[in-house]
Structure 1
Amino acid sequence: MILRALAPILPLVAILALDLTIVMPVSRAQSFPSTSEPSGERPPEVMDVLRERERYSVLVAALERTGIDQGLAMSPSFTLLAPTDSAFRALDVRLADLESHEVAEILRNHVIQKALTTRQLQGYSKIQNTRGLSLQVSADARTIGAATLVAPDVRIENGIVHGIDTVITMKTAVEGVPSPSE
């Protein structure tokens, strides 16, 4: 008796059930954020990008020595201002002569807790690094603090890397910010 009453709508129920099985995987896939590039490939991890480019070997060694490489890998989103090897050679001290915690403090000057492309950086006059220092950003976002971007906008899995020509130290961070009288 119940089946007879439902008989007229059973084809409709079957169609709805079929539609749900087709729609379910699509809506489930759309609920997860996409980390892929338009080509369908995932962007590389930060350490892979730095290792691929020979001019960041000093930075790679310093990140690994201090364990900051692992922190970056777990960070949901960041910008790394990546000094080149020549930038590290221009320092008045060698990283190998410093304690690990001192190297870590220098490296933290180069991390911003938000992924920012140069286009996005143009909206800022200053940005704050993970040490709490404010770095001046030029109007065209080609200079941050005392550093010039030499390889901007390298996309990585969880952020952006900008290659820079200067190591950001306390001195260069302060020099890069105009005084209140300017």
Structure 2
Amino acid sequence: MRFLSHSVYAGHHNASKHHDIVDVAASNDMFSTLVAAVKAGGLVETLKGDGPFTIFAPTDDAFAALPDGTLEMLLKPENKEVLVSILSYHVVAGKVKAKDVVKLSSATTVEGSKVNIEANSSGVMINNANVIKADVDAQNGVIHVIDKVLLPQEVALQL
């Protein structure tokens, strides 16, 4: 497996133990789009809550790979419901570390739909996204960094 299990929080290995998922994501430049989307979706307080949460966190590059105009459309106030659906599709209740993720074939997201999980010698995939960094710890959960934005089936059909 090509998992890396160190924190991305400001280069300090134990700093994330005192910061929630939102703080950890906000401290890293590769999640600026995700943080903006969480704010636009009104999910900051939820993700600062007790949790625990497992977040499959798309990088800024993953958001940039969406079809032209998609991100801008999702960030508009009138599309908040769709944005929340997409974001909650990246969240699983509980703290699921990499050693446990690799034993699963699927997981039910907070959005209500399942994501497929496939682990093999080349890594772990969540639907069609590769996990590029796993086990980024936070006080209220864990982040697994992915290289694509996950879209619930009904949303994908609309885009």
Q: Does TM-score exceed 0.5, indicating one fold?
A: yes
Q: Does 1:95 align with 2:100?
A: no
Over 6 Å off, 4+ runs? none
What residue in structure 1 maps to residue 144 of structure 2?
Answer: 162
**Structure 2 residue ranges without an equivalent (≥5):** 1-13
Q: Shift of the alpha carbon at 1:68? A: 1.0
- 1:56-135 matched pairs, under 5 angstroms: 56-92=31-67, 93-98=69-74, 99-135=79-115
Q: For 1:41 and 1:90, locate their aligned partners in 2 and report how far apart those are by CA, in whole Å.
A: 28
Helix, strand or coil: the match of 2:19? Answer: coil
Q: Larger % of strand: which?
A: 2
Letter of the aligned partner of 1:113 in structure 2? A
Residue 145 of structure 1 contacts residue 172 of structure 1 at CA under 8 Å; is this kept in 2?
no
Q: For 1:108 and 1:148, locate their aligned partners in 2 and report how far apart those are by CA, in whole Å.
A: 18
Residue 16 of structure 2 contacts residue 137 of structure 2 at CA under 8 Å; is this kept in 1?
no
Q: TM-score scaled to structure 1, two decimals?
A: 0.68
Q: Shift of the alpha carbon at 1:76? A: 2.3
Q: Which of 24, 41, 58 is residue 49 of structure 1 equivalent to?
A: 24
Q: Shift of the alpha carbon at 1:82? A: 0.5
Q: Shift of the alpha carbon at 1:75? A: 3.7
Greater RCO, CA 8 A, separation 6+: 2
Structural RMSD (CA): 2.4
Q: Larger % of helix: which?
A: 1
Q: Shift of the alpha carbon at 1:96? A: 2.4
Q: TM-score scaled to structure 2, two decimals?
A: 0.77
Q: For 1:74 and 1:41, locate their aligned partners in 2 and report how far apart those are by CA, in whole Å.
A: 15
- 1:33-48 matched pairs, under 5 angstroms: 42-48=17-23
Helix, strand or coil: the match of 2:87? Answer: helix
Helix, strand or coil: the match of 2:48? Answer: helix
Q: Shift of the alpha carbon at 1:94? A: 2.8
Q: Shift of the alpha carbon at 1:103? A: 1.1
Taking a change above 3 Å as real, the CA distance of residues 41 and 84 of structure 1, as seen in their structure-2 partners, is closer
Q: Shift of the alpha carbon at 1:134? A: 1.4
**Structure 1 residue ranges without an equivalent (≥5):** 1-38, 175-182
| Count of residue pairs the alignment pairs up | 136
The higher radius of gyration belongs to 1
Letter of the aligned partner of 1:100 in structure 2? K
